[in-house]
Structure 1
Amino acid sequence: MRMEYDKEADAIYIYLGDAPYSRGKNLDNERRIDYDAKGIPIGVELLCVSTGVITDDLPNRVEIEHALDDKGIKVYA
């Protein structure tokens, strides 16, 4: 699982697949899921990560939680 962290924006983007972006869905003001044309999640954007991340409703939740934990980011399940 590949992640990009932008310290200035306090955001992380987690890549779940390589397919082209088709659409996105905001779960709330701090979480967004990007999908390919078939409706398969290809990425997750998380904002305000320094205060912790809520992982409810995220695809690949367990893998994302482990990756965030490895980066030292607090996870709220």
Structure 2
Amino acid sequence: MEFRYDKEADANYVRLRHEQYAYREEINTERRIDYAADRKPIGVELLCASEGVDLRNLPEQDAISDLLSQHHIKVLAS
């Protein structure tokens, strides 16, 4: 699992697995999930990160929450 933060976009990206991107599902305007062709999630994009992030209904919530807390990102809901 890898973490990236884009300060200019105020966005976090958590890479769950190293597989080729096939498509994206937009959960809402601040949360998106990237998938491989086999429909397994490969990444999660979280926008407006400086305000805190909502992990509800995302894959691997506990692992993502642990990773974000290591980077001092506030988790609002999980």
| Fold equivalence (TM over 0.5) | yes
One-letter amino acid of the counterpart of residue 17, structure 2:
G
Q: How many residues align?
A: 77
Task: Report the Cα offset of residue 62 of structure 1.
Answer: 0.1
- RMSD (CA atoms): 0.6
Structure 1: 5+ residue stretches without partners:
none
Runs (4 or more) in structure 1 with deviation over 4 Å come to none
| Per-residue Cα deviation, 1:1-31 (whole angstroms, up to 9, x for no partner) | 2111111110011100111001100000000
Aligned sequence identity (%):
48
Task: Report the Cα offset of residue 66 of structure 1.
Answer: 0.6
Task: For 1:36 and 1:23, locate their aligned partners in 2 and report how far apart those are by CA, in whole Å.
Answer: 7
TM-score (norm 2): 0.95
Q: Which residue of 1 aligns with 2:64?
A: 64
Q: Which residue of 2 aligns with 1:43?
A: 43
Structure 2: 5+ residue stretches without partners:
none
